[in-house]
Structure formats: C-alpha cells, structure tokens
Amino acid sequence: MFLCGVDQATGKNYEHRKTLIQQRLQFLARYFAVDVLAFAVLSNHTHGVLRNRPDLVKEWSDEEVARRWLHIFPVRKKKGDDDEVPEPNEVEIQMLTGDSAKMKELRSRLSSISWFMRCLAEVIARRANKEDEVTGRFWEGRFKCQPLLDEAALLACMAYVDLNPVRAGIAETPETSQFTSAYERIKATKQRDQDRDSMARRKG
C-alpha cells in the first residue's frame, strides 16, 4: 500500500507523511540516547540505522532523564501537535525523580531501540488514522532489527539505506533523494560551504 506516496488506485497523495516520519525521527533523536545514523522514508516502509547509547544515559542526572521523558510523554500537551509540548515544570520532574524504580526503568527505555521505534510508530499511526478515519497499525508489523557488529557492516548498511531510493528508481541521485540521511547530509554540507564562502567574502 502507498502509505506515504501517491496511491495509484485512488489518486490520493500521502507524500506529506514522509515529512511527518522524518520530523518524528529528528524529534525522538533529540531526547533518546539513540543515534540515527542513516534513514530512508519510502512509500510503504522506512529504513533506519540506529545506535543505542546506554553509556550516555548513565551520565545523565535524574532531572535530565525526567525532563527528556516528559518531552516524549508530556503531562500537558498542545492540542493537535505531538512534537510541540510545554517545557516540563519542576513538579512534573519531581514526580518522576522521587521514584527510584521508575527512574531506573526510564533510563533503560531512553536507550532502547524498541521504545524508540514504538514512539515513532504510535504517533505516525495516530495521525494517519485520524486522516483516513480508520484504526489500527500504520505499518503492517513490528519492526525488524539486524545487529551490525563491525565497521564494515555499518558502512555497508548505511550505504544500502542511503541509496535505497536511487536503487528503487524513485530518485536519480542521492542529491535528489529526499527523505534520506544522504540528502540531508549533502544539503548541510552545501549550506556550510555557502556560509564559509559568504564569510570569506565579507572578510575580503
């Protein structure tokens, strides 16, 4: 099914959902101890190369853990936007930090790829279901995960993910392959070069 593309049967365009998925990945990466090393959002599935960082969570204070969790699962919400939440207040933070067992659980969750993917899938499903006036999952089943045990495997997998739209014929080059980490890295590099050139001209 064309969950995030143009449905050939109905003519409906769901391309905007690719933006939602990319934005949600970026949002979650700010608060989880999970690095998004590569991603590609396609019409009916999403690829991701993720690295969980329990070592980072160990360095966070209880207040930092609570604050991050409350950004993902806020007590208070702005209506209609899952990624726009008020800054957690001290009472909300203390409600979590006062429970040592809960804090231990939250530290584990914040470096969990399973929880990361759960927080991605649930929000996307909720938004798409409202749009389509249906209920249930967005993606057909649970995500599949393959450990990458060395640098060669990591690089090969990142290349596979980055080039997936090119290989599928959706884009001609990585530079035109939107909704991928390759596209974002190339765009950021070009912007950095432009900023550097502009700075050099001002100094000259």
- pTM of the complete model: 0.86
- DSSP for 56-125, written as a single string: HHHHS-HHHHHHHHHHHS-SS--TT-TT--PPPPHHHHHHHHT-HHHHHHHHHHTT-HHHHHHHHHHHHH
Span 84-107, pLDDT tens digits: 678 899 999 999 999 999 999 999
- pLDDT of 138 reads 84
